[in-house]
Homo-oligomer: A and B are copies of this chain.
Amino acid sequence: MAKVQEIHHNGVNLSTQRTFGTKFTSGLKETFFPDDPFRQITEEEKSSRRCIKGVQYFVPIFEWLPNYTLRLFFSDLIAGLTIASLAIPQGISYAKLANLPPLVGLYSSFVPPLVYAVFGSSRHMAVGTIAAASLLIGNTISTVADHETEPALYLHLIFTTTFVTGVFQTCLGFFRLGILVDFFSHSTITGFMGGTAVILILQQLKGIFGMKHFATKTNLVAVIEGIFTNRQEIRWETAVLGIFFLIFLQFTRHLRVKKPKLFWVSAIAPMTTVVIGGIFTYLVKGQNHGIQIVGHLDKGLNPISIQYLTFDRRYLPAVMRAGLITGVLSLAEGIAIGRSFSVTDNTPHDGNKEMIAFGLMNLFGSFTSCYLTSGPFSKTAVNYNAGCKTAMANVVQAIIMALTLQFFAPLFSNTPLVALSAIIVSAMLGLINYTEVIYLFKVDKFDFVICMSAFLGVTFISMDMGLMISVGLGLLRGLLYTARPAACRLGKLPDSGLYRDVEQYSNASTVPGVLIILVGSPVYFSNSTYLKERILRYIQSEQSSSRNTVEYVILDLTGVTSIDTTAIEGLLETSKILERKGIKMSLVNPRLEVMEKLLASKFVEHIGKEAFYLNLDDAVIASQYSLRTSKTNNNDDTV
């Protein structure tokens, strides 16, 4: 037994006990500060430099502006002009989606881009309104205020919602709760975008068919019913014009895919549509043919709107709801797009800074007659393709918008609504990402279900329900994971002496009489019973298949990063049950946090220090040694 004893104490650190403070701080830091905001600062030596670094960290414009060159500005100017040409039609169209006056959409492309240019960490982000959130915000606020009978109240509630979103996003960033955005998986976003695209396209049928009445709800069934009931309103003139615009827009989009250098054609196509549409309608006196237009637009920059924020109890629930949901949603979209370009181009991107930047731009936006803005997929992609280098592109965009508002706004009053509808439909067609859905189906069925639940939920129920169902399924997946983390049986590979999953490596051979289980992580209350049953089941199947009596169970804890008290009790219970069956249990390589809790709970005392091994091989050798001894003893008895 001397040799076995020696192996037993082959190094498992049975004494590591960090203090509560250390554990708590490191746990908190890992959960909420995984990107460690001060890592680049603490290394510096001089305090003045450290201070500058700190300001640069929190206000990124100080980081890039000092090194800004004319050459960079030229690139940003081109990009800024391009996104501004997109911002005008999109601003007007998306404002219509939220049942807002078109001017509010234009205002929203003036102040927020300026704010973002100061605080934003991404270099490619183009700030603007987004279709999905516009529709969602409009739908939610419509439940408490009618935009036709009470337009002023409706508008003020939208500003208040934007204010709520701003405060919420700033807080998330300030308290570094980027973890919330982590729960929007790629699958959820894909499904949600697809579903939103479908209902937005359906919504635009109103504009394309030139109808005056339409479904008030956004789901598929309601919209189709709406079209049928009001089918006598359909105007062929509008429809022809709409289809023409749509073909034009889709053609330019197609061109971009074929010849990426001609991206600018598709970028200015919406503006072209608006201009051509406007001139055409003016020339043919479109109103006489049932072609609806945007209507009168005032000159002038954003009026102050801070005095309109209303926190009336009657409207607050709807305002909060709209503010929080669209707040998270627009963050998810904006952060995802920013991240993907920063990866492609190796430029900086910081989720928490982005949240603060988004929050501030919505906060200032709500004071200056803007509504919810974010970093839309399409506009940011155009900005990137147009060669933007810094956030200066947003400043250019803002200046163009200011000039437009001050001098040219009335020119857009003649824009036919059908042109705007065609622009939205064309943009939305690009968001239905069916290849991604096929990919999800092939790789991960659960992700496919999460994606489809968002898609179908949005299409058939409502946008927020679809989103919530999908996020809920994602959370459920996480919970099911912690309830049933996979364990597997290990066997020895012939040449290398490594222990690997017997199901994965069919040449792995099990050790007779010894059952080796690689335990999945975490070992928690939600799976402590399961783990016990799993071990007993392995023993049963081992005994019935190989007719070998299991005398040793070795649990490899290498992968277990976390354990709780219910599970510790479960392990103790398991060892008692095994003991009664005459089976010994040993534990291999418990990790730091697990070991700390096993020690604190006196589990180590109960089960004995000699049951712990640092290395699987040692545990197997020790068990074989003791198997042989017990067999010899049995033989002695029988002799």
Chain A residues close to B by CB (< 8 Å): 10-11, 13, 16, 20, 24, 30-31, 34-36, 39, 43, 178-179, 182-187, 339, 343, 346, 351, 439-440, 442-447, 474-475, 477-486, 488, 493, 496, 498, 500-501, 503-505, 518, 520-522, 524-530, 533-534, 537, 540-541, 544, 558-562, 564-566, 568-569, 573, 576-577, 580, 589, 591-593, 595, 597, 600-601, 614-615
Contact = CB atoms under 8 A, between A and B. Distances in A.
Given A183-B526, A187-B565, A479-B479, 5 more contacts: A43-B544, A442-B600, A444-B565, A481-B522, A559-B561
B540 A445 contact: no
A542 to B, nearest CB: 12
B614 A500 contact: yes
Contacts of A522: 478, 481, 485
Contact of A34 (B530, B558, B568): B530
28 contacts: A11-B505, A24-B445, A30-B486, A31-B484, A34-B537, A35-B537, A39-B541, A179-B526, A182-B529, A183-B525, A186-B525, A186-B566, A186-B569, A343-B577, A346-B577, A346-B580, A439-B601, A440-B565, A443-B597, A447-B564, A475-B479, A486-B561, A486-B562, A488-B591, A504-B595, A521-B561, A559-B559, A559-B560
B526 A493 contact: no
Nearest to A536: B35
A503 B30 CA distance: 15
A496 B11 contact: yes
Given A20-B445, A343-B573, A558-B558, A524 B31 contact: no
Nearest 4 interchain pairs by C-beta: A559-B559, A185-B525, A478-B482, A486-B561
A105 B520 CA distance: 46
Nearest to A574: B343
A39 B537 contact: yes
Given A444-B565, A483-B179, A504-B591, A533 B343 contact: no
A318 to B, nearest CB: 24
Q: Counting chain B CB atoms within 10 Å of each CB, which of A36, A445, A486, A505 scores highest?
A: A486
A151 to B, nearest CB: 39
Contact of A576 (B343, B525, B559): B343
B31 A480 contact: yes
B537 A36 contact: yes
Contacts of A501: 591-592
Contact of A182 (B31, B486, B527): B527
A43 B544 CA distance: 8
Contact of A496 (B444, B541, B592, B614): B614
B591 A561 contact: no
Contact of A485 (B500, B521, B530, B580): B521
Given A442-B600, A595-B504, A31 B483 contact: yes
Contacts of A505: 11, 13
Contacts of A184: 525
B561 A525 contact: no
A491 to B, nearest CB: 13
Nearest to A43: B544
B520 A561 contact: yes
A479 B478 contact: yes
A433 to B, nearest CB: 13
A483 B34 CA distance: 11
A202 B541 CA distance: 52
Contacts of A614: 493, 496, 498, 500
A191 to B, nearest CB: 12
Nearest to A573: B343
Contact of A521 (B30, B559, B576): B559
Contacts of A351: 529
Nearest to A346: B580
Contact of A533 (B35, B496, B528): B35
A615 B498 contact: yes
Contact of A186 (B187, B496, B565): B565
A182 B524 CA distance: 10
A561 B10 CA distance: 28
Nearest to A566: B186
A517 to B, nearest CB: 12
Contacts of A447: 564-566
Contacts of A446: 564
Contacts of A529: 178, 182, 339, 351
Contacts of A24: 445
B183 A443 contact: no
A446 B346 CA distance: 39
Q: Counting chain B CB atoms within 10 Å of each CB, which of A36, A351, A564 scores highest?
A: A564
A544 B39 CA distance: 10
Nearest to A186: B566
A15 to B, nearest CB: 10
B20 A525 contact: no
A13 B484 contact: no
A521 B488 CA distance: 14
Q: Counting chain B CB atoms within 10 Å of each CB, which of A521, A533, A566 scores highest?
A: A566
A443 B525 contact: no
Contacts of A346: 577, 580
